[in-house]
């Protein structure tokens, strides 16, 4: 009789269970392979925040913009908003400094730039055609190296009422409320057509056009308030509707015949030009006005040497104002006042825009008293600075 080992018996005993289990697993695998399993659903990407591509952070720059409205504003450089000329954004009720040194080619020399601002809502709604966005803010800013300049966005001129203004002249202008030195309402570049000025109320606004020029010599903005040439306009803001034909429209200047030649004839310099010939040997002096700090000449010198002639810019007024122009010698122990005539006691009347000559001479004595000198001032012609002015 053939013997069977216990191990073989054990294997035979479990074999049906083992193989039955193997068959069951194989069928399940085939069933799972025939089923199509969908991948887990990925969540939708979050919508970008409005203005996510705009720089809202303050920069280390020279242009400061104050936003006095309750709207976030996107600021552009130039007359027409475009994606390529965005300077950045400024949050509601906040102040931001912009670095414009890379946005203009003549930053160190100086110049001017037009600023436009649209609300963040308008920016988002018109991303594909930013030129169609409504302009809530319009201003003009100057720059020159590290000099600071500040503009403000006022809440009074961001609203749902408004009117249309056009500049039919070739001279840029600021529109100011209730007077030539009043609050700035907007800026109109030369030949700007149908610019909408928005307001928070329907109250009438009397607009004073103040014409603005850029002085290439001084790298500064000059304003002209020649009321004999330019008339005011009272605007009546109305609710802005879809029918633009019903919006009130106004034009500047009132007199369309005003020419550049007429305006340039009204221009004056903000200073007088005083040329001093120091005809005193073996001595140097310095110039003050009524004992203030030493004046620097146009050449950048704070003293004048014997035999030297230097020109100083001294602020007077358009009507003329008395100025105590003093040439000091011996460290200020001896003061030589400028006079139109040596017998005159009043200080000379200085008018902006004019040239003056002062001749400083030794007339006697030991030179240790003011009476030993004379400084005679002579008024010359008014300067023609129209060639130095550039319209905006």
| CATH number for the domain that contains residue 279 | 2.60.40
Q: Domain for residue 3, yes or no?
A: no
Could you give the number of structural domains in the chain? 2
Q: Are 164 and 250 in contact (CB under 8 A)?
A: yes
Q: Does 223 fall in a domain?
A: yes
Question: Would you say residue 312 lies in a domain?
Answer: yes
CA distance 344 to 12: 142
Q: Do residues 89 and 205 share a domain? A: yes
My answer on whether 98 and 247 are in the same domain is: yes
For range 84-91, the mean pLDDT: 95
pLDDT, mean over the chain? 81
Residue ending a domain, among 264, 282, 317, is 264
Residues 233 and 374 in one domain: no
> What pLDDT is attached to residue 104?
86
* Parent domain of 314: 272-387
- Selected residue with higher pLDDT from 295 and 140: 295
Judgement on whether residues 354 and 212 belong to the same structural domain of the protein: no
Residues 224 and 299 in one domain: no
Task: Examine the domain organization and report whether 138 and 82 are in the same domain.
Answer: yes
| Coil/strand/helix, residue 156 | helix
Q: Quote the pLDDT of residue 9.
A: 36
The answer to whether residue 31 is domain-embedded is no
The answer to which of 17-26, 55-64, 244-253, 312-321 has the lowest mean pLDDT is 17-26
224 close to 141: Cβ distance less than 8 angstroms: no
Is the domain of 239 the same as that of 283?
no
Same domain, 218 and 364: no
Give the global pTM.
0.55
d(CA 254, CA 230): 7
pLDDT attached to residue 230: 55
The answer to whether residue 35 is domain-embedded is no
CA–CA separation, 349 and 339 (whole Å) = 10
Instruction: Indicate whether 245 and 367 sit together in one domain.
Output: no
Average the pLDDT over 156-162 and give the result.
Answer: 88
The residue with greater pLDDT, 256 or 64, is: 64
pLDDT tens string 205-240: 999 888 777 666 555 566 666 454 456 899 999 998
Task: Give 52's pLDDT tier (boundaries 50, 70, 90).
Answer: confident
- Last-in-domain residue among 220, 243, 264: 264
Q: How confident is the model at residue 263 (pLDDT cuts 50, 70, 90)?
A: low
Same domain, 96 and 199: yes
Q: Do both 237 and 101 map to the same domain?
A: yes
Residues 211 and 312 in one domain: no
128-132, 156-160, 241-245, 253-257: segment of lowest average pLDDT? 241-245
Domain edge (last residue) among 244, 264, 284:
264
pLDDT at 110: 74
- DSSP string for 236-294: --EE--S-GGGS-EEEESSSTT--HHHHHTT---SSEEEEEEEE-TT-EEEEEETT-SP
């Amino acid at each position: 009789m053939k013997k069977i080992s216990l191990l073989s018996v054990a294997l035979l005993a479990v074999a049906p269970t083992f193989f039955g289990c193997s068959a069951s697993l194989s069928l399940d695998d085939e069933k799972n392979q025939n089923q199509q399993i969908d991948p887990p659903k990925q969540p939708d990407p979050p919508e970008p925040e409005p203005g996510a591509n705009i720089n809202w952070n303050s920069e280390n720059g020279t242009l400061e913009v104050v936003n006095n409205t309750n709207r976030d504003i996107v600021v552009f450089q130039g007359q027409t908003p475009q994606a390529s000329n965005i300077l950045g954004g400024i949050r509601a009720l906040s102040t931001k400094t912009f670095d414009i040194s890379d946005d203009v080619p003549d930053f160190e020399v100086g110049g001017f730039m037009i600023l436009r601002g649209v609300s963040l809502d308008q920016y988002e709604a018109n991303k594909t055609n930013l030129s169609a966005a409504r302009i809530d803010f319009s201003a003009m800013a100057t720059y020159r190296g590290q000099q600071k300049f500040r503009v403000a966005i006022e809440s009074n001129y961001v609203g749902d009422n408004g009117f249309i203004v056009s500049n039919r002249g070739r001279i840029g202008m600021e529109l100011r409320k209730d007077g030539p030195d009043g609050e700035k309402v907007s800026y109109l570049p030369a030949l700007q057509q149908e610019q909408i000025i928005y307001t928070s109320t329907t109250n009438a606004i009397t607009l004073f056009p103040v014409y603005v020029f850029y002085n290439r010599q001084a790298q500064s903005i000059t304003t002209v308030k020649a009321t004999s040439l330019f008339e005011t306009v009272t605007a009546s803001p109305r609710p802005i509707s879809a029918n633009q034909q019903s919006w009130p429209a106004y034009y500047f200047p009132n007199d369309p015949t005003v020419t550049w030649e007429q305006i340039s004839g009204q221009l004056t310099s903000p200073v007088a030009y005083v040329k001093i010939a120091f005809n005193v040997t073996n001595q140097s002096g310095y110039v003050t006005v009524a004992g203030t700090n030493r004046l620097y000449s146009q050449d950048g010198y704070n003293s004048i040497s014997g035999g030297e002639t230097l020109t100083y810019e001294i602020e007077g007024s358009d009507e003329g104002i008395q100025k105590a122009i003093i040439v000091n010698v011996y460290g200020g122990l001896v003061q030589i006042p400028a006079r139109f005539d040596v017998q005159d006691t009043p200080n000379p009347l200085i008018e902006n825009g004019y040239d003056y000559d002062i001749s400083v001479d030794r007339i006697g004595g030991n030179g240790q008293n003011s009476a030993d000198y004379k400084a005679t001032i002579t008024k010359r012609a008014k300067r023609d600075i129209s060639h130095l002015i550039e319209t905006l």
